Structure 1
């Protein structure tokens, strides 16, 4: 398995993972909207944001499903500067997904381990994430990895103009 920064070519597979966490969707049937394109371009061009993927093959020998590579999981890391923790950055983990047919193999734990290692290597003093209250299995998973329920989160959806 290879853990790497996602490329534009991975976008349909990442969107398929994010669209339905209970089923495997065909990336070729995934609609990539202009909004998705803009969001991916913004992530890709921002040094403080990374969309990362876990694949089943070396990216140098296979770059997409047509060549034999399958995206097994993904997550987004955002690095946030702050004055707390001695001025060290924190890493925010978002959009964590593992293919529904590959769960239970330790891929999610490996994906998170690699993300934490990456954040630590960049000097972050904390890794944080939020998870929907409905995702109780995900909460148990994060707790098994050593994450603690230390804060109560709040979100305010903003209407589109």
Structure 2
């Protein structure tokens, strides 16, 4: 497996992963509208963000996550990393790809000097929660969101 920075050509596969968590949507069937293209370009241009894909070696995107580096005054002024949007294609789960994807993301954060890696996950994704706990992530906080 190859971990690489996502390219605009990966956008249909990434959208497929994010919108069809339990199935396998053919990226060729995904419409990339202006909002998705703009969001991709904005994240890609931001030096504190990385969109990473796990490539099966043939260009097929089998995993994705977004890694954001957050500066702050807490923890002695150290940077922290936020992992979001973690997905592995439904037909490729159970083979250790998610474990590999997250391990590589954590290593990137560590190499950058981050002292903490945090992630968020929808409360309904109980399987994902068990998976994150198996990797050493602890449920330490409750999160709150306000839709605008």
TM-score, normalised to structure 1's length? Answer: 0.90
The residue correspondences of 1:65-84 to structure 2 (distance < 5 A) are 68-84=58-74
Query: What residue number does 2:17 align with?
Result: 17
1:18 Cα deviation from its structure 2 partner = 0.5
Deviation of the 1:69 alpha carbon: 2.0
Gaps of 5+ in 1: 58-67
Q: Deviations over 1:8-36 (max 9, x none)?
A: 11111111111111000000110101010
| Aligned counterpart in structure 1 of residue 78 of structure 2, from 88, 91, 105 | 88
Residue number among 85, 104, 109 corresponding to 1:119 in the alignment: 109
Q: Tell me how large the CA RMSD over aligned residues is.
A: 0.7
How many equivalent pairs are there?
148
> In 2, distance between residues paired with 1:147 and 1:89?
18
Moved over 6 A (4+): none
Q: Deviations over 1:84-121 (max 9, x none)?
A: 11111110111100000000000000000000000101
TM-score norm. by structure 2 comes to: 0.98
Structure 2: state its 5+ residue gaps. none
- Secondary structure, counterpart of 1:72 in structure 2: strand
Q: Which residue of 2 aligns with 1:26?
A: 26
